[in-house]
């Protein structure tokens, strides 16, 4: 069976199973642990584990504590509105905790349902699916907490296609009678000269603006589960890098009957490394 290698292993997150498990245990011990609730979906950040691994770990660990899960739909990728949605259709994806199976039947059903919505999703192989941090950095956590549960990795562009893709994922899982967990990956404002975005200058003033205004607008839209506003604020305010993945995720969650977003935590790379260029992160759970 074809296998997708872990491109960021040993750089953006630890190389070995032992090192990854040590980090997971530390995140859950030091950072307030699992959030109690009946959560079936979430938004997680995708910077290196040094910066945002704790938030992603605690958020994913809090999913579906009271039910069996048949598959995990995980969305990400940095995409433009003109791009076509993608999914990894078959094979395995390497993690330090062992390979994760791709749920081929669910992927095929998603493509069929998207077609009925007028959306073409491109089926990629393990060799052609993009090597990006957005999805890969979540996979060790998914493998650790969901064991042998298969996944469908999706690349989702911003715009109406994101909402229709989300509806297709829900309908596909419903037709196959699968209980799914839903994970969307996005970071928030990328601020500073390094990112070509400096509307309020630099230093602590810029950090406070990002935290209290620009990222606050993004978090508000995510908690409200408002897919249209997620796309809008991202486009106008540059405060989400993968708003398509976020919009698709909240759409699936609303179709599943989830109605409430709960913020796990907000943080920024500025907290670890103060400077004029930094990135915001958050974890949101849906119940």
Domain boundaries, the chain: 29-286
pLDDT at residue number 44: 98
Q: Are 278 and 268 in contact (CB under 8 A)?
A: yes
| Model confidence pLDDT, tens digit, residues 271-282 | 999 999 999 999
Per the listing, tokens 């540059």 go with 238
The string of DSSP codes covering 92-161 is EE--TT--EEB-HHHHHHHHHHHHHTT-PPEEE-TTTS---HHHHTTHHHHHHHHTT--EEEEE--SSHH
**β-sheet bridge partners, residue 192:** 197
H/E element holding 265? strand 261-268
For 70, 150, 177, the CA distances from 64, given in Å and listed in that order, are 11, 15, 17
pLDDT at residue number 67: 75
Q: Name 231's Cβ contacts closer than 8 Å, sequence gap at least 6.
A: 158, 159, 162, 243, 244, 247
Q: Are 34 and 66 in contact (CB under 8 A)?
A: no
Q: Are 208 and 263 in contact (CB under 8 A)?
A: no
3-state class of 80 per DSSP?
A: coil
Structure tokens at 12: 């953006």
Low-confidence stretches of the chain (pLDDT < 70) are: 30-31, 65-66
pLDDT at residue number 117: 86
Q: For the domain 29-286, what is the CATH code?
A: 3.40.830.10
pLDDT at residue number 116: 92
Residue 216: other Cβ atoms inside 10 A: 16
Residue 73: other Cβ atoms inside 10 A: 29
pLDDT at residue number 107: 98
pLDDT at residue number 167: 97
């Amino acid at each position: 069976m074809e296998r997708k290698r872990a491109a960021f292993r040993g750089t953006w997150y630890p190389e070995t199973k032992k090192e990854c498990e040590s980090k997971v245990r530390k995140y859950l011990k030091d950072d307030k642990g699992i959030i109690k609730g009946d959560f079936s979906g979430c938004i997680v950040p995708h910077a290196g584990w040094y910066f945002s691994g704790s938030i992603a770990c605690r958020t994913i660990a809090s999913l579906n504590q009271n039910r069996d899960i048949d598959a995990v739909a995980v969305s990400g990728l940095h995409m433009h509105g003109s791009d076509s949605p993608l999914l990894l259709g078959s094979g395995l994806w390497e993690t330090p905790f062992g390979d994760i199976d791709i749920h081929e039947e669910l992927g095929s059903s998603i493509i069929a349902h998207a077609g009925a919505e007028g959306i073409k999703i491109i089926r990629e192989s393990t060799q052609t699916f993009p090597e990006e941090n957005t999805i890969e950095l979540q996979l060790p956590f998914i493998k650790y907490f969901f064991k042998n549960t298969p996944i469908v990795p999706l690349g989702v562009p911003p715009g109406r296609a994101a909402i229709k893709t989300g509806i297709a994922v829900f309908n596909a899982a419903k037709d196959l009678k699968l209980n799914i967990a839903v994970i969307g990956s996005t970071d928030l404002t990328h601020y500073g000269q390094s990112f070509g975005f400096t509307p309020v200058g630099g230093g602590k003033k810029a950090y406070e603006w990002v935290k209290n205004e620009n990222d606050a607008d993004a978090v508000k839209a995510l908690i409200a589960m408002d897919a249209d506003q997620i796309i809008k604020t991202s486009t106008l305010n540059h405060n989400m890098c993968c708003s398509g993945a976020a919009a698709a995720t909240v759409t699936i969650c609303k179709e599943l009957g989830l109605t409430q977003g709960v913020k796990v935590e907000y943080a920024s790379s500025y907290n670890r490394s103060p400077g004029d260029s930094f990135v915001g992160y958050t974890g949101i759970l849906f119940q």
